[in-house]
Homo-oligomer: A and B are copies of this chain.
Amino acid sequence: MDPAPKRMSTEARRRQLLAFGREHFAQHGFEAMPMDAIAEHAGVSKGLLYHYFGDQRGFYMETVRGVTDEVIATIEPPSDQAFEDAFRTMVTRFVQYVQTHRAIYRALVRGGLGSDTEVNALLDRVRVTSMERILERLGVGEPSSLSRIAIYGWVSLVENSCAEWTEADGVSPDELVELFTSAFQPILEVLN
Contacts and interface: CB of A to CB of B under 8 A. Distances in A.
Interface of A: 30-32, 110, 112-117, 120, 145-146, 148-150, 152-154, 156-161, 164-165, 168-171, 175-176, 179, 182-183, 185-187, 189-190
Contact of A158 (B32, B114, B117, B153): B153
Nearest to A187: B183
Contact of A145 (B148, B149, B156, B171): B171
A38 B39 CA distance: 32
B146 A171 contact: yes
Each complex incorporates copies of this chain amounting to: 2
Contacts of A158: 153
A187 to B, nearest CB: 7
Contacts of A30: 115
B153 A157 contact: yes
A179 B149 contact: yes
